[in-house]
Amino acid sequence: MDKLLTIKEAALFLNVSEMSLRRWTNAGQLKCYRVGGNKERRFDRQDLINFLNPGQRGTTPLGLGDHKVDNSSHIVQFYQSLDESLATGINYISKGLSLGEKALVVSTAARLPLLLEGLGNRGFPVENLIGDGSIITDTGRSIPAEQIQFMTKAVSTTRGFRLLGDMAWALEKKWSLDDLTILENYTNSALADKNKLFLCQYDIEQFPASVAMMALDTHPLTSYRGELKESPYFAGTA
């Protein structure tokens, strides 16, 4: 076995915070050795490499009931109330954080604090997680190109990732049907990959039927009233 790395060295190797390493080892997701009288953490370099490259696609808990999905899934949820949207989002992001994933939350300026408060009520140190980059928040960009650039950068810097997009932000930005279609198709063709989940939430009381049909066309999985089903209208990657 090669020389074991200290927690500081391991954090530099993975480009994460020491707090993230402690959380992953405490949860049993990352192997470490305890050495010395203080039982300090030490890490094997190969274990860290394996952690960065977890292998083939598999299934992962979605955080919604008992549902498990392919860990590269792109899902649409249709909701009917703010409470439903927040409950789903909090459960989904909580599950990702507990698995050591990075979370990107895109929502309106009014709704973001409510979701973060819900995570805090679950015991997550929200401010610390934002500080170390485990949680990224955004209120959406004005045009698809800017949103795509932002999302691409967020996705590229992590081994495990899940995005929550409450598309109410797109209403505030006055996005058109074509704008939304561009973003959803790009997610399918260029962003969805192993260990990356995308959950897009659409308010069926606020969005027109044309947007709902677009969402069915561009998402392989649909969640509605607690049920998760494959979309018969999914057209594949564009």
Asked if 199 and 92 count as a contact pair (C-beta separation under 8 A), the reply is yes
Report percent pLDDT > 90 for the chain. Answer: 65
What does the DSSP 8-state code read for residue 196? E
Question: Which of 37-51, 70-84, 184-198 tops mean pLDDT?
Answer: 70-84
The pTM of the full predicted model, rounded to 2 decimals, is 0.77
Percent pLDDT > 70 in the chain is: 94
Average pLDDT over residues 106-123: 98
Cβ atoms 21, 8 nearer than 8 A: no
Q: What size, in residues, is the chain?
A: 238
Q: How confident is the model at residue 93 (pLDDT cuts 50, 70, 90)?
A: very high
Instruction: Compute φ and ψ for 113, nearest 5 degrees.
Output: -60, -30
Question: What does the alpha-carbon distance between residue 120 and residue 136 come to, in Å, rounded to a whole number?
Answer: 15
- Residue that has been written with the tokens 């994933």 in this structure: 101
Q: Is the domain covering 59-230 a CATH 3.40.50.300 domain?
A: yes
pLDDT band of residue 56 (cuts 50, 70, 90) is: very low
Query: Angle at Cα 82 formed by Cα 195 and Cα 129, nearest 5°?
Result: 45
